[in-house]
Structures are given as structure tokens and as C-alpha cells.
Amino acid sequence: MLISELDLNNKKVLVRVDFNVPMNENLKVADNTRIKSSLKTILYIIKNGGTCILISHMGRPNGYEEKLSLKNIVEEFEMLLNKKITFLDDCIGDKIKKACQESQKGDVVLLENLRFYPEEEAGDVNFARGLSTLGDVYINDAFGTAHRNHASTGILPTFFKGKKGMGLLLSKEVDAIEKVLKNGTPPILSIIGGAKVSSKIEILKNLTNVVDDLIIGGGMAYTFVKANGGEIGNSLCEEAFLDEAQKILLLAKGKNVKVHLPQDVIVSEKLSNAAITDTVNIYNIPRTMEGVDIGPLSIKKFNKIILNSKTILWNGPLGVFEMSNFQNGTKQVALSIANATKLGAFSLVGGGDSISAIKLFGMGDKFSYISTGGGAMLESIQGKVLPGIKAVLN
């Protein structure tokens, strides 16, 4: 169900949010994107007469760890919400239940880090039952953890038959992914980059069922080139996945998916901005050099394919974008996608490193949708139904 289909008036609404935000060394929020993304749902609940009881995890604690207490985000959260909230220093038990019951319509209550209890990650039913006594309605708005079958995401919703649903952020994420995987307007293009083929095999396989064109770039392209008989010098290569790479190419061919590998690449003697570079054909990389970015011919070719596409999914950088001398390919591809978006294409960008790259280029607002969940987004594009989403649907 969607949050809009639920009666929230005078209800204690237990909301699983994703406040797992990066913190700096002074225990201040370093990037508030995830908190900002949850505000719409919180404000919607308040407007519709409910009380928000917020639950979240932060980091990977081993029991209680002060540096991973959610009290550290309260100041930033109150500033963004423009409202005082109530922070409770635990997330379960009689004291917390009483405090939640005493909260008033329109209040926002934030509970302590769920992962201070190992029962959360273990998906413990009794822990989930304890949490379920804190609210009348359950909302999941934590896309970033929707791929985890933890107590608060996979088990807790089973206690809320007919009184649970997706928050506004979660439903937007699901819609954006469906706009590509289920209802994409052709031609559909996916651009997959990043370091390792091994981490993206299932994604590539599933995408052959969906896309018309598949651009493979970044470090993972070299395993494909080697599988095709190319000389890749010192470039990244996963020898154990040469067969798998070949299988993916055959699978794509069988489904009429056009796979585009870079034609030319920037090569370097080492991963350093100071290193000597050259531009060469990707099938002929000198023995002492490694491919670090895509070259001008590849950029031109990819630009044409991108501008011809109506639906674009991008995950993973096309080169070592963290180094200024090797970021041009990723930047040019980002610009092409932004241009295609301006011309009416639907573009979805996801995965930690592509998001870091577009933030670095100051292009955070140039795409149709930027996914907030790294692992959850990757598992969705593998074609999996995520446990946290499944649990609020039935």
C-alpha cells in the first residue's frame, strides 16, 4: 500500500527511515542527503494528523557505541525539519513504549539506533514484536536498507496487516526503477561502469532482458576486451571471469542487445595524476600501461548512443574519476546523460560511485532521478524483489 491509502489521523506512525548518514570526526552530520530525503514523509504524516515514531540504524555497531548514537544527528535533523523533536535513548522496552504512547499528535519522536541490538540484523521475531507495540501503523521509507531482511524491515511489517505501506521516498525509488525495468520507453540504454565485473554479473545478465543498448565502461571493460582476444596490458582484469564475460556477450547477442565497449582509452603507467599518459585502441594497450579512462572516440560514440536513448540507467564511473586527469570520460558521459534528460529522456543514476562523481562535477540536479540506496538499487536492477518492499506489499 501507499502511505496515501492509510488513515493516519490520531495514529502513532512507526516509520523505518534511513538515517545512516556519514558523520565527521566531530560527530556532526557530513552529508545530510538521507535526512532531507525523509522529510516529505514526515511532514505528510504530521499534516495528516499522525505522530511520527522514527526508527533507523546507523553504521555497524557492536553493542552500544556512543559515536553511532542517533542523538548525534538530532541537531541537524531539527534544523532541516524546522521543529523540535524528542530523542529517546533506547528503541525498545516499557520505558520507550510509555514515552511513545504519551507523545502527541504532530510530535516527531526519534528512537535510538536499532543496531545497538544484534536482534535487528538477525531478523529476530521477538525484537520485531517488541517494536510493533510502539505504533498503530507501519511505514517503510528506508530504501537504502530495503534489500536487508532485518527485524525492522522484513519482520516488523508482518505485525501490521492492512496497516502498513511505503513512504513517499520508498515509493518514488520503486517508481523510478520500474520506469526503467518495467515500463521504460525504448530505446533503453544502460551504462555500467566501475571496477569489477564480478560484482555486476547478475546486473548485466538481468539488463540483457530489458535494454536495447548496453555500454560497458570503467575498469570492468578490460575483462570483456581480453575475453574478446584483446591486449590489455596492465589494465584491471578478473581472469576468473573471462568465461563469464564471454557468456554475457553471447547472452546479449542472443537477445539483440547491442553491447558497446570503449574503442579508445587513456592509458597510464601508474594510477597517478603525474604519470605519463597516452591514448590508444582498447584492443592494443602497451604491456606497461593500464587503461584509466575512456578516450575521445569512445566519448563521441557514447554521446551519440546516449542522445538517441529515451530511457537511461547509469551505474558506475567510466574511469578513475577520483583523479582529475582520468575523470574526463565520466564527466562527458554525465554531461551527455544530462543533455538527453533535457531533451526528454528519463534518466536514473544510482550506486555510490556514480553519485560521488556527479556531486564532484556539481551535476546533482541534472538527472530525472538519483537513487539514494546503493546496495538496494543494485539488487533491484538485478531483478530481485527486495525484502523490505515485499513485506509492505502483502
State yes or no: cis peptide before 61, omega within 30 of 0.
no
Start-to-end CA span in the chain (Å): 8
Integer Cα distance of 305 and 365 in angstroms: 22
Nearest 5°: CA angle at 315, between 172 and 154? 50
Q: Are strands 12-16 and 137-140 parallel, antiparallel or unpaired?
A: parallel
DSSP 3-state of 77: helix
# chain residues binding ligand AMP, by CB under 6 A: 17
Binding ligand AMP by CB under 6 A: which of 80, 322, 335, 360?
Answer: 322
User: Does 219 participate in catalysis according to the annotation?
Assistant: no
Copy the grid coordinates of residue 297.
572516440
Q: Does 257 bind ligand AMP (CB under 6 A)?
A: no
Question: Where are the extended beta strands (E) located within 229-368?
Answer: 258-260, 264-268, 277-281, 290-294, 311-315, 346-349
Beta carbon nearer to ligand AMP, 259 or 360: 360
Q: Does 291 bind ligand AMP (CB under 6 A)?
A: yes
**What is the closest distance, in whole angstroms, from the C-beta atom of residue 282 to ligand AMP in the complex?**
10
Q: Does 282 bind ligand AMP (CB under 6 A)?
A: no
Binding ligand AMP by CB under 6 A: which of 320, 348, 370, 391?
Answer: 320
Beta carbon nearer to ligand AMP, 46 or 237: 237
Q: Of the listed pieces 103-111, 238-246, 254-262, 311-319, which binds ligand AMP according to CB under 6 A?
A: 311-319
Alpha helix (H) residue ranges in 182-256? 201-207, 221-227, 242-254
Residues 74-93 binding ligand AMP (CB under 6 A) are none
HSE-CB at 325 with a 13 A cutoff on CA atoms is 16
**What is the closest distance, in whole angstroms, from the C-beta atom of residue 149 to ligand AMP in the complex?**
23
Binding mask 92-131 for ligand AMP (x = CB under 6 A): ----------------------------------------
**What is the closest distance, in whole angstroms, from the C-beta atom of residue 186 to ligand AMP in the complex?**
26
Are the beta carbons of 152 and 114 closer than 8 angstroms? yes
Q: Of the listed pieces 7-15, 31-39, 77-85, 316-324, which binds ligand AMP according to CB under 6 A?
A: 316-324
Active site residue: 352, 374, 383, 384, which one?
Answer: 352
Binding ligand AMP by CB under 6 A: which of 292, 306, 334, 337?
Answer: 292
Q: Does 233 bind ligand AMP (CB under 6 A)?
A: no
User: Does 352 participate in catalysis according to the annotation?
Assistant: yes
Q: Are strands 277-281 and 258-260 parallel, antiparallel or unpaired?
A: unpaired
Count of other CB atoms within 10 angstroms of residue 33? 14
Copy the grid coordinates of residue 363.
551535476
Residues 169-228 binding ligand AMP (CB under 6 A) are 194-196, 199, 218-219
Q: Does 230 bind ligand AMP (CB under 6 A)?
A: no
Copy the grid coordinates of residue 203.
546486473
**What is the closest distance, in whole angstroms, from the C-beta atom of residue 222 to ligand AMP in the complex?**
7
User: For the chain, what is the total number of helices (H) and then of strands (E)?
Assistant: 14, 15
User: Does 196 participate in catalysis according to the annotation?
Assistant: yes
CA distances for 126 relative to 130, 132, 140, angstroms: 6, 10, 19
Beta carbon nearer to ligand AMP, 196 or 301: 196
Phi, psi of 9 (to 5 degrees): -65, 125
Copy the grid coordinates of residue 281.
585502441
Active site residue: 196, 205, 301, 384, which one?
Answer: 196
**Interface with ligand AMP by CB under 6 A: which residues?**
194-196, 199, 218-219, 236, 291-292, 316-317, 319-322, 351, 353
Active site residues: 34, 196, 352, 375
